[in-house]
Amino acid sequence: MESSIITLLSMKKNKIMRLEDISKELGVEDSDRFNKAIKSLEEEGVIFRDKKGRYTMTSNTSLKKGKIKITKRKGPIVVFEDKTEALVIYKDHKSLENHDIVLVDISNNTAKVVKILKREYHDYIGEVIKEGKNYIVRNKDYEDVILDTIYPLGTKVLIDGKTFEVKEVLGHKDDVGTREKEILTENGFPISFSDEYLKELKDIPSEISEEEIITSKRNGVKDIRNISLVTIDGDDTKDFDDAVGVYNDDIYVSIANVANYIKDGTCIWEDTMKRGISVYPPGMVNPMLHHNISSGICSLIPGEDRFSVTTSIKLDDNGTVISYKVYPSIINSKKRMTYSAVNDYLENNNIVKGYEDYTEMLDKLYKVAEQIKNNMLKNGFLDFSSSEVKVILEDNKTKDIKKRYQGKAEDLIEFLMILHNLTLTDYFIKHKLPFIARNHDVPNKNKLSSWNRLLKVRGYDSGKMSEFSSKEISDRLSLYKDCDERVILDNYAIKSQSKAKYSAYNIGHFAIGVPAYATFSSPIRRCDLINQRILIDSIIYDDDYARRKWLPLLPKFAEMATSAERRADIVERKITDIRKSFYMEKYIGYDYDALVSEVSNEYIKVLLPNMIEGKVYISKYEYNLSKDGFSLYSNRTNERILVGDPIRVRLVKVDTYNGEIIFNRESYRENINSNCKKKVKSR
C-alpha cells in the first residue's frame, strides 16, 4: 500500500492530492490499511500534509527531515542524514525532546520545526514480582507497572514504553531461550509474528504448481531446470537463497525470487521491512521472513522447482566479465552441498559420496572464484583475518568453541557472490536504476596512522603512510600475515576503517576496492530483497516505472537496513559472549597462554587461541598507559605490556548473564615460541 501511494504521488512533479482523491485513485478497499499506510508515510517524512489537508511528496517541498540532538552549549540542533547540522530557532526549543524526528524549514542555516514526525518511546523488559496483593513488573530504571493479568513470578515481559502495557511475554527467567529473547527485544527485534501476518501466510503456497510454471513461462520467465545448479552452505543452514553452476562454460548464479511472494501493501511486506534482517545468534535464528517462506517456498531445496532470479556470466581466461544476462527463472537445484564436504574435495582431493558427478563443476567454480579474488586484491581488496567463532551446541548447551574456518569452499561462494553483486550493480548503473548501495567510505587517517605506529612498535618495518590507500594498507597486512598476533593487529586495522552502511546514494566501497557496490545475493535474510524488488519491477514493467516507484522510498529503507544490521551485530555478539561464558565456566582455575588484545587504565584484554576474549582487571596505581594507548608501563618494575604480547593468565570468574569472562594474571613471559617467521624486536 505504501509504495502504491508513493507511486501515485510521484507520477507528476509537485502533485498535491486530498486524502479522498488518493483513496479513490487507488481503488482502496481496506480503509484501515490505507489510513495506516498514510500515517506511516507521514511519520517517516516521505509524504507531507499541508494546512489544507492535502498530501504531496516531501521531496516536492523545501522541507528536510532530521533528528533532534540536545546539546549543552547550543541547545537543540537538527542532524540530517548526510551528517550536516543546523541550529533550531529558539521558540521551538521547549517543544522538542532528544531524538525527535522532525521536518524543518531551513533559512540561513537555522531550522524552523514544521512538524514533529515521531517521538521515540522505548520499550523495556521487566520481571514479574509480587508486592502485597499486587503482581507488578519491575525494572530498576522505570516505574513499577501494576498488572491486571497474573503471570508466574519470575516471568520476563516486554512493556510498551508508550502505553505501559504488556506487549509480549518472553518466558520465565530460568527457561532456556528467555535470555536470548530478552536481548533480541532489547534491541528492537520482534520475536513473533502478528495474527494478520500469519493469516496472510496461509495464502503463500508451499510448492509451485505446474499451472504456475506454465503461466510464468508465458510471461517471460525462463525455464532452466535442465541446468545443474547446486547450493553450498554450512552444515546447519536451513534457508538456501543462492545456487551456483556452470553451463556452456558460463557461470550461473541463481538467487531465490523472494519478491515473487512478498507483495506491496501486505502485512508481510511491512513486517519484513521493519525487521530488516535475520539475526543468527548461536543455536537459533530470529528470521526476517517466517520459516514457511525462508526455509520453505523461497529456499532452493534440492529436487524442488523454485522461482529465482538468474545471472549468467561470461568471463575471459583472466576472470574478467565479458558479458552477462539477468532474468527471472525457474530452477531445480540438483544437490545440497556443504562447506565441509566441498573443502574435503578442494583441499584434500577426497570425493564425498554423491559428489562424483560434480567435481569438474566445483573445479571450474573455484578457479573462477580464485581469479576474482586475485583480481580484487590487485585493485585494492583488503583481506582481513576474522576473529569469528563457531559455537558448537549439544542439547542447547555449549559443547565447544572453535575459530570459524574459512576454507576454499567458503572462498568459492564468497567471491562468486561478490561477482554476482558487482554484475548486478553494473546492470543497475547502466539502466540508471535507484538501488540501496553498500557504502564503505575511506578510512580515518588518524586511526590508520595509529595502527601503523602499533606495527612499528611491534617491530614491523611499515614505513610512513602517505596516501592512506588500500594498497598501503594491503602491503602492511602482508608484513604479519603468518604471525600469531595477526588477528589482533587486523582488528586494529579494521577499527581504523569506516563502518559500512546501506544508503540510497552511492559513494563506493573502499575495502572491496570498487566505485559502486550493492548486494543482491541474500533476499531471504537482508535488504537485498529491496534491490531485487527494484530489479523485478524494471524487468516486468520498465526502468522508468521502477525509478518513480522506488527512488522516494530508498532513504527510509536504507536507514532501516543499516539500523537493523547494527542492532543484529549487537545481539549476535552479546549472545555469542554468553555462550562463550557458559563454555568457560567449567574451566575456572585453568591457566592459559593468551595474547594481549587491548590495554587500558582499568584492564588488559586477552585473547585465547580459540578466539575467546576476557579481561584482566588492573589497578590504575600499578600501571601507566602510554600516550598511543598500546602499552602499559609498570610503576614498580621495568615491565612493559604491549598489544600483541604473549601473556599467561588464569580464569577466575565468568558472568553467564552478561557474558563477561575474567582472568587473573599468572605471569608475564617476555619470550614465547612464535609461529612468526621473523623475530619481533626486543621491547
Which of these three, 575, 590, 622, is where a domain ends? 575
Whether residue 170 is predicted with pLDDT greater than 70 in this model: the reply is yes
Handedness of CA 493, 494, 495, 501 (dihedral sign): positive
Least confident of 28-32, 50-54, 57-61, 679-683: 679-683
| DSSP of 284-335 | --B-SS-HHIIIIITS--TTSEEEEEEEEEEE-TTS-EEEEEEEEEEEE--E
Question: Mean pLDDT across the stretch 57-64?
Answer: 84
Whether residue 106 is predicted with pLDDT greater than 90 in this model: the reply is no
Whether residue 677 is predicted with pLDDT greater than 50 in this model: the reply is no
Whether residue 609 is predicted with pLDDT greater than 60 in this model: the reply is yes
Least confident of 37-51, 210-224, 617-631: 37-51
DSSP SS3 for 662: strand
How many domains would you assign to the chain?
5
Question: Mean pLDDT across the stretch 428-438?
Answer: 96
**Same-domain status, 165 and 108:** no
Which of these three, 11, 32, 60, is where a domain ends? 60
Does 492 map to a domain?
no
CATH number of the domain encompassing residue 30: 1.10.10
**Same-domain status, 333 and 299:** yes
User: Which range scores top for mean pLDDT: 377-391, 411-425, 466-480, 543-557?
Assistant: 411-425
Does 405 map to a domain?
yes
**Same-domain status, 307 and 372:** yes
Question: Mean pLDDT across the stretch 19-34?
Answer: 83
pTM over 0.75: yes
- Residue range 207-253, pLDDT digits in tens: 999 999 999 999 999 999 999 999 999 988 888 999 999 999 999 99
**Same-domain status, 324 and 398:** yes
Name the residue among 36, 42, 60 with its Cα closest to residue 115: 42
| DSSP of 105-133 | EEETTEEEEEEEEE-----EEEEEEEETT
**CA–CA gap between residue 645 and residue 633 (Å, rounded):** 13
What is the signed CA dihedral for 263, 265, 268, 272, rounded to 10 degrees? 90
**CA–CA gap between residue 309 and residue 330 (Å, rounded):** 8
Residue 46 exposure: Cα atoms within 13 Å on the Cβ side: 24
Q: Do 500 and 439 form a contact (C-beta atoms < 8 A)?
A: yes
**Same-domain status, 536 and 624:** no
Whether residue 167 is predicted with pLDDT greater than 80 in this model: the reply is yes
CATH number of the domain encompassing residue 632: 2.40.50.140
**CA–CA gap between residue 531 and residue 537 (Å, rounded):** 10
pLDDT for res 46:
84
Instruction: pLDDT band for 384, please (50, 70, 90 cuts).
Output: confident
**Same-domain status, 571 and 584:** no
**Same-domain status, 278 and 131:** no
Whether residue 435 is predicted with pLDDT greater than 70 in this model: the reply is yes
**Comparison of pLDDT for 617 and 52, the residue scoring more:** 617
**Same-domain status, 246 and 370:** yes
Does 187 map to a domain?
no
Does 457 map to a domain?
no
At a CB cut-off of 8 Å and minimum separation 6, what does 521 contact? 241, 242, 253, 255, 417, 420, 421, 528
Q: Do 297 and 290 form a contact (C-beta atoms < 8 A)?
A: no
pLDDT for res 2:
78
pLDDT for res 301:
95
Instruction: pLDDT band for 668, please (50, 70, 90 cuts).
Output: very low
Which of these three, 79, 99, 118, is where a domain ends? 118
**Same-domain status, 254 and 157:** no
State which H helix or E strand residue 456 sits in.
helix 445-457
DSSP SS3 for 182: helix
Does 599 map to a domain?
yes
How many angstroms from the chain centroid is the CA of residue 606?
Answer: 27
Q: Which amino acid is at 521?
A: S
Does 483 map to a domain?
no
**Same-domain status, 143 and 112:** no
List, in sequence order, every beta strand (DSSP E) within 333-445: 335-338, 389-394, 397-403, 437-439
Whether residue 3 is predicted with pLDDT greater than 50 in this model: the reply is yes
φ, ψ for residue 627, nearest 5 deg:
-60, -35
pLDDT for res 180:
94
User: Where in the sequence is the domain holding 107, given as residue range(s)?
Assistant: 64-118
List, in sequence order, every beta strand (DSSP E) within 363-472: 389-394, 397-403, 437-439
pLDDT for res 547:
93
pLDDT for res 669:
42
**Same-domain status, 564 and 616:** no
pLDDT for res 342:
96
**CA–CA gap between residue 523 and residue 544 (Å, rounded):** 23
Does 231 map to a domain?
yes
Does 497 map to a domain?
no
**Same-domain status, 276 and 142:** no
Q: Which amino acid is at 467?
A: E
Instruction: pLDDT band for 335, please (50, 70, 90 cuts).
Output: very high
Q: Do 640 and 628 form a contact (C-beta atoms < 8 A)?
A: no
pLDDT for res 679:
37
**CA–CA gap between residue 101 and residue 79 (Å, rounded):** 10
- Residue range 385-413, pLDDT digits in tens: 888 888 998 888 899 998 888 899 999 99
Least confident of 241-245, 409-413, 634-638, 678-682: 678-682
pLDDT for res 678:
40
Question: Mean pLDDT across the stretch 467-475?
Answer: 87
